[in-house]
Amino acid sequence: MKILIDVGHPAHVHLFKNLVRKLQNNGAEVLFTCRSKEHEVQLLKHYGFRFESFGRKYHTSAGKILGLFKFDVKECLYGIKFKPDLFLSHGSIYAAHAAYFLRKPHISLEDTGNREQVRLYLPFTQCVLTSDVFPKDYGNKQIRFKSHNELAYLHPNHFTPDPLFKEKIGLSPDEKYIIFRFVAWNATHDKGQKGIGQKNKNILVKKLAETYRVFISSEQPLPKELHEYMPAFPAHLMHDALFHSDLYIGEGTTMAMEAALLGTPAIYINSLKYSNISDLAEYGLIYDVNPSDNIDHILMLASDRELKEKIQQKHQEMLRTKIDLTAFMVWFIENYPQSREMVEDTEEFWGRFR
């Protein structure tokens, strides 16, 4: 089996990495395609995956229209050259269009439901895999699984935290730290949305740096006064960093999910509201804060230096209700298309993937 996977975000590399390793062990050949955006190329190189980069991603409206045609053509050309049996992605327009052009199936994972993106890929996609808490209905193309995308790589079956991480980055074992995440606000789904204003970012960072070590992960360049808080570790160690962190604060949805699924309390500050965030908020793992709220509420939550210890039982309760998504995807892809008809919404079926 030959599979072409298109990724558009660093988290997509993590989403598929364990799946790819297992498929390769079973004899499959895999090619990744991507754009040079943030850390995608760095991660693909780090994991030793075969990939092709289409160059830089466009951020202006005109550039995105140009990119749609340019990257569609490149995806088709690499598809013709690689000759995959199927295309796989997380909502990739380019993979869907190339699959349709080459008369191959496209399987997509979805957890955001961005209308503009879905409208461009769904008609050319045979199957969409979503969490069972995802609110949108894509008809008979949709298969719902009992998990979250991030558990494809953060489930205990796959992720083992490095116990020496703090020592490796120069922290003492009992030193507490916080990770901030700021987004660039240039994605199509970010239009009209807001997060932490720059003034409040400065206040939060400076105030919390009085009692915690602070690291900032940012999609856009940081102002000079925050440069000292840039991470002292490479991107592929971010999950170790989140696991050992005492708190996550940020605008980034994916990193909020990752922190919570690793047992680190997350304060999510974004006007975009997603069902996966709400699901983990119900478990008490994410604090969904409105950007217009007074930052005193955030500072109050962050002042509880025992907050992480308090949520550990809730974290274990959450894990007992979710499956190992990688195990499910391996089964689903290796048995596709028959697997579409074999999925059952029963505990006996999903229990195979816990």
Domain match, 56 and 148 both: yes
In a domain, 48, yes or no: yes
Cis peptide before 337 (omega within 30 of 0): yes
CA 137, 141, 143, 149 dihedral sign is: negative
CB atoms within 10 A of CB 307: 16
Same structural domain for residues 242 and 112? no
Residue 147 and residue 71 share a domain: yes
Within this chain, do residues 144 and 21 fall inside the same structural domain, yes or no? Answer: yes
Residue 160: inside a domain, yes or no? no
Give CA–CA dist 290/6, Å, rounded.
Answer: 33
Instruction: Read off the tokens for 112.
Output: 């955001």
Same domain, 309 and 328: no
End-to-end CA distance of the chain: 26
Q: What is the domain count for the chain?
A: 2
* Domain extent for 187: 165-320
Q: Tell me whether residue 38 is in a domain.
A: yes
Asked whether the CA dihedral 288, 292, 293, 296 is positive or negative, the reply is positive
Do 348 and 223 fall into the same domain?
Answer: no
Same domain, 253 and 278: yes
| CATH number of the structural domain spanning residue 12 | 3.40.50.2000
Cα–Cα distance between 35 and 70 in angstroms, integer? Answer: 11
Rounded to whole angstroms, how far apart are CA atoms 322 and 350?
A: 9
Q: Assess whether 87 and 112 both reside in one domain.
A: yes
Instruction: Give the residue among 86, 94, 69, 98 at the shortest CA–CA distance from 28.
Output: 86
Is residue 73 one of the residues assigned to a domain?
yes
pLDDT at 219: 83
**C-beta of residue 347 within 8 angstroms of C-beta of residue 174:** no
Cα(129)–Cα(136) distance, rounded to whole angstroms? 12
41: amino acid identity, one letter: V
Q: How far apart are CA 145 and CA 252, in angstroms?
A: 23
pTM of the model: 0.90
Give the pLDDT means over successive 10-residue stretches in the chain (354 positions). 95 96 98 87 94 79 72 96 98 97 98 92 98 96 97 97 94 95 68 75 94 92 91 88 97 95 97 93 95 87 93 97 98 97 94 93
The CA radius of gyration of the chain, in Å to the nearest whole number, is: 20
What is the C-alpha to C-alpha distance for residues 4 and 305, in angstroms, rounded to an integer? 45
3-state SS class at 280: helix
pLDDT of residue 56: 75
Identify whether residues 150 and 171 lie together within a single domain.
no
- Rounded to 10 degrees, what is the CA torsion of 262, 263, 265, 270? 30
